Amino acid sequence: MKAILHAKNVNKIYGTKGNQYKALENIDLEIKEGEFIGIMGPSGAGKSTLLNILSTIDTPTSGEITIAEQNIVTMKEEQLSDFRRNKLGFIFQDYNLLDTLTVRENILLPLALSKVPAKEIQNRVEKIADTFGIREILDKYPYHISGGQKQRTAASRAIVTNPSLILADEPTGALDSKSATDLLESLTALNEQNHSTIMMVTHDAFAASFCKRILFIKDGRIYAEIHKLQQSRQEFFQKILDVLASLGGDNK
Ligand SMILES: Nc1ncnc2c1ncn2[C@@H]1O[C@H](COP(=O)(O)OP(=O)(O)O)[C@@H](O)[C@H]1O
Ligand SMILES: [Mg+2]
């Protein structure tokens, strides 16, 4: 499988001279097409900083990053907004749905902005709604659906454009355990059936156990990496807990 993301020697320093803080140090990372990768680590480790840089929301102080063969570090703001819309899908903890639009309209919004034909929009929305189990609520408004359904709507919107890379920051953070499991199973289906590439930041070992590979970050550096091989999810979950214990910190 070819790599969808290359990051080389990425550094991020916050603050100004005399009052500097190194949030990321010499991060090297490669994500291959079809991976489901998790990022874990204690509070303040640099997880969100890394995600924000890879999602082009923030810029690194130094280092090289290419995503889908494009150099995102040197890209101009105008190109970046097209790049984000066409190549990336975002899933955040707070769903960011538009309350005046139905679930269906929320999901198809990115396609409408890209002027995709109506028939094609219809097909894609229904296919994704099936993957996430929300076909029955397509014509409801956000205030009539549950938190779990909102998050699955937000996830559907994030992937409706077939992004090269899906980025999720604590997507299960606001969900009860049943809704979290539903979302994680949908993301797994998306990864396995659609070969979508997913990177998920989480402090939750249960959520992380759905990933195929996990990077642990501590003090802005990659501390450990584990792969789910032939293990069951339960075995992988145990392994994650072991690494977290060796990491120390509160893992939030
Ligand atoms: N805009 C900023 N200015 C200064 N320091 C920041 C900024 N954003 C994050 N930091 C610091 O960088 C470190 C990493 O933060 P963050 O990436 O949010 O960690 P995590 O998501 O792993 O909890 C923390 O010590 C945080 O205080
Ligand atoms: Mg964070």
Residue 88 has what pLDDT?
Answer: 94
Q: How far is the CA of 169 from the centre of ligand 2 (A)?
A: 7
Confidence (pLDDT) at 94: 78
Q: Which residues pair with 19 in a beta bridge?
A: 16
Give the Cα separation of 225 and 184 in Å (integer).
21
Task: Write the pLDDT tens digit of every residue in 97-142.
Answer: 999 999 999 999 988 887 889 999 999 999 999 988 999 999 999 9
State the residue for tokens 């919107």: 157
Domain range 3-96+164-247, its CATH number among 3.30.1490.20, 3.40.50.300, 3.30.360.10, 3.40.630.30: 3.40.50.300
Please determine, for residue 252, whether its predicted confidence score (pLDDT) is greater than 70: no
Whole-angstrom distance, CA of residue 221 vs CA of residue 48: 13
pLDDT tens figures, 206-225: 999 999 999 999 999 999 99
d(CA 9, CA 34): 23
Beta carbons of 77 and 71 less than 8 angstroms apart: no
Confidence at residue 85, expressed as pLDDT on a 0 to 100 scale: 86
- Strands 36-40 and 88-91: what pairing? unpaired
Structure letter (DSSP) for residue 135: G
The pLDDT of residue 14 is: 95
Between CA 236 and CA 222 the distance in angstroms is: 19
Closest ligand relative to 16 C-alpha: 1
- Is the C-beta atom of 53 inside 6 A of ligand 1? no
Confidence of residue 36 (pLDDT cuts 50, 70, 90): very high
Phi-psi region of 194 (alpha: psi -120 to 50; beta: other; left: phi over 0): alpha
- The response to whether residue 43 sits with its C-beta less than 6 Å from ligand 1 reads yes
Q: Say how many Å lie between the CA of residue 252 and the centre of ligand 2.
A: 8
* The predicted structure's pLDDT at residue 115: 81
Q: What is the per-residue burial (b if ≥16 Cβ within 10 Å, else e) of 59-95?
A: ebeebebebbeeebbebeeeeeeebbeebbbbbbbeb
Question: Which residue blocks in the chain are alpha helix, DSSP H?
Answer: 47-54, 77-87, 103-113, 118-131, 147-159, 177-194, 205-208, 233-247
pLDDT at 158 > cutoff 70: yes
The reply to whether ligand 1 has any atom less than 6 angstroms from the CB of 23 is yes
pLDDT digits (tens, 9 = 90+) for 71-96: 999 999 999 988 998 899 999 877 88
Which sign does the torsion angle of CA 152, 154, 158, 161 carry? positive
Instruction: Supply the DSSP symbol for 236.
Output: H
Regarding the beta carbon of 16 and ligand 1, being less than 6 Å apart is answered no
Q: Which residue has the tokens 């450990």?
A: 224
Please give the full DSSP string across 140-187, using - where no structure is assigned.
S-GGGS-HHHHHHHHHHHHHTT--SEEEEESTTTTS-HHHHHHHHHHH
**What pTM value is reported for the model?**
0.92
pLDDT at 250 over 70: no
Dist. CA 51 → ligand 2 center (Å): 9
Q: What is the pLDDT of residues 10-32, one digit of tens each?
A: 999 999 888 899 999 999 999 99
Taking only the tens place, the pLDDT of each residue in 223-245 is 999 999 889 999 999 999 999 99
Atom of ligand 1 nearest to the CA of 46: 17
Task: Give the per-residue pLDDT at 201.
Answer: 95
Q: Decide whether any atom of ligand 1 lies within 6 Å of the 14 Cβ.
A: yes
Ligand 1 centre from 43 Cα, in Å? 9
